[in-house]
Amino acid sequence: MSSVALRLDQPRESSKPTGWDRAHLGVVVPLCVVVAVAIVCIVVAALTSAQRADEVALEREKHLFIKSIANRAEWSMRKLSAAVPADEDAGNLDMKVLQQRVGAWHKTVMDHDILVVADSADQMAYSEVQRPSDPPHWTEAAFPELTPLIEHLQGHWSELPARSIRLTPRPAAYQALNGSAAFVLTVRGKPAIVAAVPLGTIAGRNHPRIALVVMFIDHALLADIGGRLGLAGLHNTGLEAATGTDVRFDLADHRDQIVTSFTWTPQRPGAEVLHSVIPFIGIAFAGFAILAGMVLRYMRRTAATIAAGENRLRYLALHDPLCGLPNRIFFGERLEATIADVKGGGSPAAVFYIDLDHFKDVNDTLGHHIGDELIRNVTLRLSRTMRGNDLVARLGGDEFAVITSASSDRASLDLIAGRIISTLCAPYSISGHTIVIGASIGIAVIDHRSEGEAADVMRYANMALYRAKNEGRSRACIYDTVMDADLSNRKRVEQDLRDAIKNDELSVLYQPIVNASGDKVVEVEALARWPHPERGLISPCEFIPIAEHSGLIVELGTYVLRKACLDAKAWPGMTVAVNVSPLQFRQLDFVKVVERILDETGFDPALLELELTESTLLGNLESADAAMRRLKALGVRLALDDFGTGYSSLLYLRRLPFDKLKIDRSFVLSIEKAADAAAIVHAIVSLGRGLGMKVTAEGVETAEQHLFLRAAGVHYMQGFRFGVPSTPAEVSARLATPGVYRSIEGDAAAALAS
Ligand code: C2E
Ligand code: MG
Ligand code: MG
């Protein structure tokens, strides 16, 4: 069953975003962006921190390096200052004495490469090399390079010579140190620390003598400084660029001219920290990635579960739980889409509105489980009859509908409808029961000329269905505009009938019911008549269904009952039969209404006979039984009208307290034509007699029918042969003069019947 439903009714959800899509857009994408930004921030923070730490460390290394050089220079300067006498004494010292003192100190200290003493005229007065291996003429060669500095110190030039860097002291402290100073400059192509101390001015000279010591910043000194400061590979590169990861540190003079450069491999603590941290960051990222993956997986699964739930809910909301077919909502949506499609130039379509005949009877008599199974069987047959892209829906109860675009011409639609009807009308075998139902179909065509919405199309199909049912059921009708007129006519009739009941414009005629020999009126049946001011006398066959459909039948039935009780009081001892419609009988207060009317009119309950049809009893056997027994308790008699046209159920006859059976006119009419009708009449009579009931034959028109029925054992006869429905006055007249009445024979009766 479900496979059929799925074939026909996949909901259209293609363009709708799924739960995962929504989660993807609403949560996952922002989450991923936030995570990505966080990762980038962490990486950038780690890298910049490491870089900043390296920069700080490098600045510190540079600072310490220059401080070490300055410390050396200051040490040399202070030592040299200590080695020479005070300024005023030095000026008076003989050069030889001075030479001995300074030379002795130089040899003792063993730290300086060259010692030079310049006289007041900036001429080299004395020089000495530290190591015996150093050639003595070095000093002569180096002296011109020292001369600008000496001249500056002697006061010839206020500005420091180019390519000289003053290490200590700063100019402010210059005088405090008695003119001593230390510098870095290039001597003999090598960077060197030069410490200078003035040796006092010789009397009669303007400029002081200057003692200088030169300490080359050579490999040994750099190894010593590098070792102390932890500067790996510290060496002098002159003006060459650094290689690899080494840094170059330039020493520049006051004019920013590079004097010399040093390179070393910096410690890079940031990079070290980074290297040690990277594995942990990697592990953290990997863990985070796994966690994110798990969260995404969970979200995807959750979204999938939610989407499945949504689909399931949507399916339940749009499908009939009993048979799995699309329901009225789904059908409405599809119908609107079809109409839009046709209006947009698509091929024409048609709606089949299908109503099962007698389904309710099956439900009521055989139980709901059989009814449900029948619906499932109908679903299966209907689905198999239609094409795959047709939509088959259950609108509720015993109503189904189909949208098909297979065809829209009358002949093809009739053909399809015929196929549906023959399929649905074939007997069903359910739980041992063989069930036969009918199907009526109303068809509305949707083509480019169609106007209106889905509701209008359904109204047209419904009108056509109504027509199909009125024309005798188990047939199909295609809607045309005339039906609209029919409907408005019905509405008008309904309103007129309402007014007629209100204005007491209905009348009641009485048809005699005679004994078997036909010579005595034993009873009359009250039959409603509607003399319409414009349309003349309207037949109950026309207005009773309208009254039943609109509910007016309750009022109408009460009206006829009261009128019959009042009229019949004029015929003492005469039983009056009154028809009761199913809707009227099912009113909870029906028995009370009967009781009240009997009270009000003072009519003898024993002379009242209520005629019920089998459809009155269907589905409410229990309550019908109870109501009938209460009526019987009042003294009212009960007749089963039109027997043979409904279910002719023996159960009703056995269980319910009927006094009389009325054989339907259609059997009487067929007695002479069909042998089986005669057999049925015989069977009904013996059945009625067997159950202790009286049997009345309706519609007796001919002497042959009369004779046959009399021979068959029918107790009473009703028909034009014995009297047409007549006014109370006519009935009174006939009863007053018994025997005057002449039965109507042959053609006259036929004319009345037509
Ligand atoms: P019914 O209760 O079976 O009434 C008998 C119908 O058969 C009456 O039709 C009567 O005129 C017609 N008839 C009687 N003898 C003959 C005959 O020899 N030949 C032919 N061809 N017809 C005959 P009527 O009065 O047109 O009523 C039709 C139906 O309308 C009734 O069938 C009954 O079901 C319903 N009806 C009439 N009056 C009322 C009413 O007051 N209340 C209810 N609920 N239904 C009513
Ligand atoms: Mg009747
Ligand atoms: Mg009848």
What CATH number did the domain enclosing 385 receive? 3.30.70.270
Q: CA 361, CA 365: separation in Å to the nearest integer?
A: 6
Is residue 530 in a domain? no
Distance 725 CA to ligand 2 centre (A): 12
Q: CA 395, CA 379: separation in Å to the nearest integer?
A: 12
Nearest-CA residue for atom 23 of ligand 1: 699
Pocket residues for ligand 1 (CB within 6 Å)?
A: 511, 527-528, 539-541, 544, 557, 560, 579-581, 611, 641-642, 665, 698-701, 718-720, 725, 753
Name which of 675, 673, 640 is nearest 655 in CA terms. Answer: 640
Contact (Cβ atoms closer than 8 angstroms) between residue 551 and residue 587? no
Task: Quote the tokens at residue 477.
Answer: 């009708």
The span from the first CA to the last CA of the chain, in angstroms, equals 50
Task: Examine the domain organization and report whether 410 and 394 are in the same domain.
Answer: yes
Distance 188 CA to ligand 2 centre (A): 148
Task: Examine the domain organization and report whether 371 and 419 are in the same domain.
Answer: yes
Is residue 533 in a domain? no
Residue of 510, 560, 579, 663 best suited for mutating to test ligand 1, as the one with most atoms within 8 Å of CB: 579
Is residue 541 in a domain? no
Task: Examine the domain organization and report whether 300 and 345 are in the same domain.
Answer: no
Torsion of CA 653, 543, 532, 566, to 10 degrees: 30
Distance 528 CA to ligand 3 centre (A): 13
Nearest-CA residue for atom 34 of ligand 1: 579
Task: Examine the domain organization and report whether 30 and 78 are in the same domain.
Answer: no
Q: CA 570, CA 358: separation in Å to the nearest integer?
A: 42
Task: Examine the domain organization and report whether 260 and 346 are in the same domain.
Answer: no
CATH number at residue 159: 3.30.450.20
Nearest-CA residue for atom 11 of ligand 1: 725
Distance 589 CA to ligand 3 centre (A): 25
Is residue 125 in a domain? yes
Question: Tell me, what's the pLDDT at 3?
Answer: 35
Task: Quote the tokens at residue 186.
Answer: 């290039």
Structural domain harbouring 449:
328-479
Question: Tell me, what's the pLDDT at 23?
Answer: 63
Residues 6+ apart with CB under 8 A from 100: none
Instruction: List average pLDDT for each run of 10 residues in the chain, which is 754 residues long.
Output: 38 52 69 79 85 89 89 83 67 74 78 82 77 74 84 80 80 59 86 85 71 87 89 82 80 87 88 83 82 83 85 89 94 94 90 90 83 95 90 94 88 93 91 87 89 88 87 85 78 90 94 95 97 90 86 94 97 97 90 97 98 78 89 97 77 88 93 85 93 96 95 97 96 84 56 56
Torsion of CA 381, 383, 386, 392, to 10 degrees: 130
**Is residue 741 packed enough to be buried (19+ CB in 10 Å), middle (13-18) or exposed (0-12)?**
middle
Task: Quote the tokens at residue 352.
Answer: 């089949």
Distance 581 CA to ligand 1 centre (A): 12
Ligand 1, closest atom to CA 613? 34
Task: Examine the domain organization and report whether 342 and 419 are in the same domain.
Answer: yes
Rounded to 5°, the CA angle 123-126-127 comes to 110
Q: 34-56 burial, b if ≥16 CB within 10 A, otherwise e?
A: eeeeeeeeeeeebeeebeebbee
Task: Examine the domain organization and report whether 45 and 185 are in the same domain.
Answer: no
Domain boundary among 479, 512, 529: 479
Number of domains the chain is built from = 4
Task: Examine the domain organization and report whether 38 and 89 are in the same domain.
Answer: no
Ligand 1, closest atom to CA 581? 44
Q: How many angstroms separate the Cα of 188 from the Cα of each of 114, 127, 128, 254, 593?
A: 11, 15, 15, 21, 143
Question: Tell me, what's the pLDDT at 512?
Answer: 97
Is residue 545 in a domain? no
Nearest-CA residue for atom 13 of ligand 1: 699
Is residue 670 in a domain? yes
Is residue 508 in a domain? no
Task: Examine the domain organization and report whether 604 and 743 are in the same domain.
Answer: yes
Domain boundary among 417, 447, 479: 479
Q: How many angstroms separate the Cα of 223 from the Cα of each of 191, 194, 217, 271, 663?
A: 15, 19, 10, 25, 137
Q: How many angstroms separate the Cα of 363 from the Cα of each of 324, 381, 433, 619?
A: 19, 19, 13, 8
CATH number at residue 596: 3.20.20.450
Task: Examine the domain organization and report whether 367 and 448 are in the same domain.
Answer: yes
Q: How many angstroms separate the Cα of 381 from the Cα of each of 6, 324, 387, 407?
A: 15, 14, 12, 20
Task: Examine the domain organization and report whether 60 and 45 are in the same domain.
Answer: no
Domain boundary among 423, 458, 479: 479
Is residue 502 in a domain? no
Question: Tell me, what's the pLDDT at 360?
Answer: 79
Task: Examine the domain organization and report whether 597 and 655 are in the same domain.
Answer: yes
For tokens 């966690």, name the residue.
Answer: 291
